[in-house]
Amino acid sequence: MSDITPHNARNADFLAWPFFDDAHRRLGTELDDWCTRELKVDHHADTDATCVSLVRQLGRAGWLKYCVPASHGGALDQLDSRALCVLRETLARHDGLADFAFAMQGLGSGAITLAGSDALKQRYLPRVASGEAIAAFALSEPNAGSDVAAMACSATPDGDHYVLNGEKTWISNGGIADFYCVFVRTGEAPGARGISAFVVDADTPGLTIAERIDVSAPHPLARLKFENCRVPASQRLGEAGQGFKVAMMTLDIFRASVAAAALGFARRALDEGLARAKSREMFGQTLADFQLTQAALGDMATSVDAAALLTYRAAWQRDVLGQRTTREAAMAKMFSTESAQQVIDRALQMFGGAGVVSGAVVERLYREIRSLRIYEGATEVQKLIIARELLKDG
């Protein structure tokens, strides 16, 4: 582990930007202090148990209240994109697994916030805010990842129930979640117009964890199987056939926060690289004295600021202007994740062999950033979204 403290004046400078109000500035400072004082993640421990513990810890401290509206145990009247981004950036700068635990509480319950009945909101959201219930978002399938409209997992009406059959895969929190927001084909119309969403409790008969999936940056991940899984119609989110719309609305809110997480990883990598450059002695001088190192640091710092501007512009436009930010959030997600990969790679290069030692901060960042370029819409998909929005506006 590195000896440096993630918090410094440079990391807090962005909070002075006009995108934020004083509440956001306090939020960022208070969470940073809390992380420094309280967040001690053991990356060699059992990942499932660690994530469960992190959710409970974040809940007790009140941070998860920003994942749900105040009417159901949350901190604010409605989901605030800037708050979510500040929280995720700060958590990611300290520890990626803590960011994951926080993010999935928001993403996993976001569809309930947006489209759930009052009864569903009351049943699930307060427990999400307190960390008592762990949420999951079940959208992807073996043959329907980026192409959501190609999903095959189905739900057939049967009296006052629906019967679910099929599979979901790459489901974060799979295996530890208490409930899943599941998107399935109900067939009201072809393609995306025939999808509905349901809240399915983890202990519902017919729902099983078919496979646990190990990935380069460990976190709970699984393939779910539904076999004649009966779910009450009252568990449906919104109207039948509106599931795709609910999924996209949920992703639109949280996509900018993925960019913020990547930004947190990049800031930490820049901090690590600066500390290494200043302390590493080579050929009678420090690594920082070499012009090649200075050029790399200049590129890294510029990428970090550019990513931050794109990320918080998207969040500000949604929160303050009330604008639809599909294009802006896609730009932020695409640029922030891609540039963070480059920033982290350059930081690791400054460490030489020490940078690829298992458990080193930059080695962990290198593994953690890679998945962000894929999940919640791969980079290539973001480019298509941006182009589609441009052509629509033209």
- Catalytically active residues are 376
Cα–Cα distance between 257 and 180 in angstroms, integer? 20
Q: Which residues contact 208 (CB under 8 A, 6 or more apart)?
A: 224, 225, 227
Comparing CA positions, the residue from 365, 242, 373, 253 lying closest to residue 319 is 253
Helix (H) or strand (E) holding 170: strand 161-172
CA distances from 98 to 64, 141, 147 (A): 12, 26, 29
Comparing CA positions, the residue from 188, 184, 62 lying closest to residue 131 is 62
Q: Which residue has the tokens 């660690």?
A: 50
Amino acid at 101: A
DSSP type of residue 78: S
Alpha helix positions (H), the chain: 9-12, 22-38, 47-61, 81-94, 96-115, 118-130, 243-279, 291-319, 326-351, 361-372, 379-393
**Interhelix angle for 81-94 vs 22-38, to 10°?**
30
Cα–Cα distance between 336 and 260 in angstroms, integer? 8
Six-digit token pair at 273?
């690289």
Cα–Cα distance between 340 and 284 in angstroms, integer? 31
Half-sphere exposure at residue 323, Cβ-oriented, CA atoms within 13 angstroms: 12
* 312 Rama class: left (phi>0) / alpha (psi -120 to 50) / beta: alpha
Instruction: Decide: 268 and 10 in contact? Cβ < 8 Å.
Output: no
**What phi and psi values does residue 220 have, to the nearest 5 degrees?**
-60, 125
Cα–Cα distance between 168 and 174 in angstroms, integer? 10
